[in-house]
Every structure is written in structure tokens, then in C-alpha cells.
Amino acid sequence: MAKEGNLEAPTRHALDWQNPDFYNEDKCLDELERIFDICHGCRRCVSLCGAFPTLFDLVDESSTMEVDGVDKKDYWKVVDQCYMCDLCYMTKCPYTPPHAWNLDFPHTMLRAKAIKFKKGEVGTAEKFLASTDVHGSFAGIPIVVQAVNAINKTETARSILESVAGVDKNAWLPALATQKFRSSAPDAKASKEVDGEKTPGKVAIFSTCYINYNEPGIGHDLLKILDHNDIPYVLVEKEKCCGMPKLELGDLDSVKQSKEANIPVLAQYAKDGFAIMAAVPSCALMFKQEIPLMFPDCTDTQLVKEAMWDPFEYFMARKRDGLLKTEFPQALGNVSYQIPCHGRVQNIGKKTEEMLKMIPDTEINTIERCSGHAGTYGVKKGSHDMAMKIGKPVFKAMATMKDGSKPDFISSDCPLGGHHIAQGFEVNGLGAPELNHPLTLVRKAYGLK
């Protein structure tokens, strides 16, 4: 007898993406119909993103007011609105495995996106946007960086970028760094490894494309915190994009290429007893969940999964080991902090909030809701406005502390999401608090320069 909903935590099945049936469009559409019918009868996820309102509008406007009245060609409208945040699976859906209905909305959307990609229906502009290593190849070249950053701020250039690359002219875009993180990171000050019961005593840093090419300051703040806590670190010998932008596009063969470049390198660090750390939640999630689900039988992939840490997950485990410094001489005042979706999906709890709350004379206003940015979704011409609409409740909730005062800082573990929130503040006239990554806030609270 089927239960109405799960009383157990959701479990994830491996992604059977190398099975030829995975790319069978008719079978995929049949599965979409089955899932859409369940979603239509539930509607708990209507407020999460654009995918569910799109689906429910299609149903309500059909001749039967049921899923069987929706033209299957219109299913793709729903697929295009899903940006793989995973929140429906993790926080809302009562029918995920181990429930008998076995509903996995995001990975079914991923299957549909993979079919669309295989059919050649993803444009060159979208492919380019997802090629973060290509964008970053210009970082660190002073004259080129200055020229590109200056040009990208002009209205003419943004209009051209919108028409050629599909980047909304009003969307915030990151600047290229004048120095890459990987080429400017100093050697660790500490050399003595002190293992804790819960934590390895040395860290290997997976830089991530964004921190390496766009905001190396976040990476430097992480290194300063590690130095301050006498934790030796190294940067991984070499790295390629984690593959998340390609996954969101449905380009699973490119994800495999990234896996084949990264996993052998990272697995050696895992075998050598390092905690592997990625300061961008989406990148950590790729190694903790998506790649392991794509390659469940790869021993090295599973080793990396177990060795991968979010920075604040590591710091709070380090505190429980009695090995984290907890004296913070610098108060931060009012901080409005957003937990990004890909941080929540890691199932690590509110570790960033936990550390920020340790800072004396500092008030934390924590918001658990999607900012709407979601990688390339937030910058594309066809979805930027929707991304701003999805994020509006977050912007408004972060604009006022619980006592009615205004925040001094706004922050998110997701750097792109943080900038999206800052733009939301500007567009909606909510004030101009300083945007700082949580690692930057902790570095300041420690009194480090």
C-alpha cells in the first residue's frame, strides 16, 4: 500500500546516463508525463522556481485541465525553466525514493536536457556561457583583463553581448581577475599536521574556476583563515572545471571529460589523507553528489566524495575537535546571510551560520531560500528577469534584520548568488549594504589583513 508521503530522508539512485534508453526521447516523455501528473496533484513546489508554475499553467489552460491535455511538445517549456537547484527533491517532494512513486524531478529534467543536447538543440552561445575554463583563459593578462573589464561595462558592448551571446544586458557579470588565484596564492605558513577525531590536519584546495579567474580574494581569505588556525594547505596540483555548468546544460560527455581530468588528481590527495576543500558550493556538490551518482562504480570518485569538504563544514568539525581558534576581536554588526541551494543540498546543516554566530556583537539574519541566480540561468536574456523575480522574496527578507534594523553586510556562500542578491537590492531600492563572502567576513572578524 502506497504511503501519502515519505517519513524518511530522500535517497538518490545512480544516474543511468550511459544506458542507451536514457536518451530515448519517447521513454523520457512518458516519464515526464508520469511525474508531471504527480506534481499536478500535489503542487507543493509552486513557489520554488519557474518550472512548476509553467507546468501548472499548462495543465490549467489545457482542454482537460489534466496532464493528458498538455501537448508533449510543451513539456520542454518546463524543462527549460529547471536550473537543477535540487530543492524540490531535498526540501519539498513527499514522493522521492524510498517512496514507491520514485519521483526524481531534477534528474528527470537532467535526462531531458541531455536528450536536447544530444539532438543539437543547444545553441553555441549557451555552450560558450558554460565554458568557464575558456572565459578564464584571459584572466591574469593585465592589458587584456583591463580592456575586457572596461568594455564589458559599456552599454554598447553589453547590447552586442546580449545579441551575440544571449547575456542579458542588465545582468551583473563578474570581472576577470588581474591575477589568478592559483598563480598568486602564497605557500602555507603552517607545516605541522594536527589531525582531529573528525578532521584531517591538512587541506588540499580545489580553487574553482570562479575564484581562480574572477574573485581570487575569496580564496586568499580562505588561506588566511587556514594560516590563522595553523592548518597546512596546498593547492591541488592541477584542476579543470568541476563540470557543473556542463551538467546544467545536459552535456554529460563534457562532465565525463572533467571527471577524467580531476578525479585521478584529487583521489591521490584523498589517499594521502588531505581534506579536499572547494569554496564554491556548486563545485563541492559536483564531487559530493553528481559525479558519484554518474560513476557509482568508480572507486576513486567515491574516495573524493568522502574527502570533499565545504570550508565551514570543515571549520565547524575542527571546532568540535577542539582545534579551531574562536577568539574574534572584530565585531561585524548586522549580517544578512543567504544559504545557497547547493549548500543546502550537501546535507551539512547551517555550518556557515554556526560560525558567524560565534562572532561577538554580531547579529545574523539567515535566509533559506533560492536567490534565483542558478549559474547561467541568472544572466541569460531569456531568464534573467525570471531570476530576479524568483530572488525578490530573498532580497526583501535580507533587507531587514529581525529587530527591524538594516544589515551592514549581505553575504552568501555562492559568490554569484551574492552578487545577484546585491543587484536585487539595487534594483528594488533596498539599500546598499556591503557584499562580503562569508570567508571574507570571518577573516575580518579574526582581525586578519
Q: What pLDDT, in 10s, does the model give residues 53-109? A: 999 999 999 999 999 999 999 999 999 999 989 989 988 899 999 999 999 999 999
Q: Which residues have CB under 8 Å from 435's CB, separation 6+?
A: 409, 410, 411, 418, 419, 421, 422
Q: How confident is the model at residue 3, as a pLDDT? A: 57
Q: What is the pLDDT of residue 173?
A: 86
pLDDT, residue 399, reads 98
Distance, CA of 351 to CA of 343 (rounded, Å): 10
pLDDT at 174: 87
Under a CB-based contact definition with an 8 Å cutoff, are residues 97 and 11 in contact?
Answer: yes
pTM of the predicted protein model: 0.92
Q: d(Cα 364, Cα 356) in Å, to the nearest integer?
A: 7
d(CA 203, CA 201): 7
Pair 307, 275: CB distance under 8 Å: yes
Cell of 168: 542579458
What is the per-residue burial (b if ≥16 Cβ within 10 Å, else e) of 239-272?
bebbbbbbbbbbbbebbbebbeebbebbbbbbee
Task: Compute CA distances 114 → 253, 305, 405, 410, whole Å.
Answer: 9, 24, 46, 36
Retrieve residue 252's grid coordinates. 554529460
* Residue ranges in the chain modelled with pLDDT below 50: 1
Cell of residue 8, nine digits: 524518511
Angle at 14 between CA 10 and CA 18, to 5 degrees: 155
192-207 pLDDT per residue, tens:
999 999 999 999 999 9
Say if residues 31 and 103 touch (Cβ distance below 8 Å). Answer: no
Contact 86, 107 (CB under 8 A): no
CA distances from 64 to 59, 71, 277, 299, 375 (A): 8, 11, 51, 50, 36
CB of 412 closer than 8 Å to CB of 337: yes
Concatenated DSSP letters for 319-356?
Answer: HHTT-S-----S--EEEEEE--HHHHTTT--SHHHHHH
- DSSP conformation letters of 210-221: HHHHT-HHHHHH
Per-residue model confidence (pLDDT) at position 166 = 84
Mark residue 106 as left, alpha or beta (left: phi above 0; alpha: psi -120 to 50; beta: remaining): alpha
CB 86 within 8 A of CB 345: yes
The Cα–Cα gap between 96 and 90 comes to 9
Cell of 418: 551574492
pLDDT, residue 29, reads 96
Q: How far is CA 176 from the centre of its chain?
A: 20
Q: For residue 121, give the C-alpha cell.
A: 538543440
Q: What is the pLDDT of residue 1?
A: 45
Q: Which stretch of DSSP H or E encloses residue 159?
A: helix 155-165
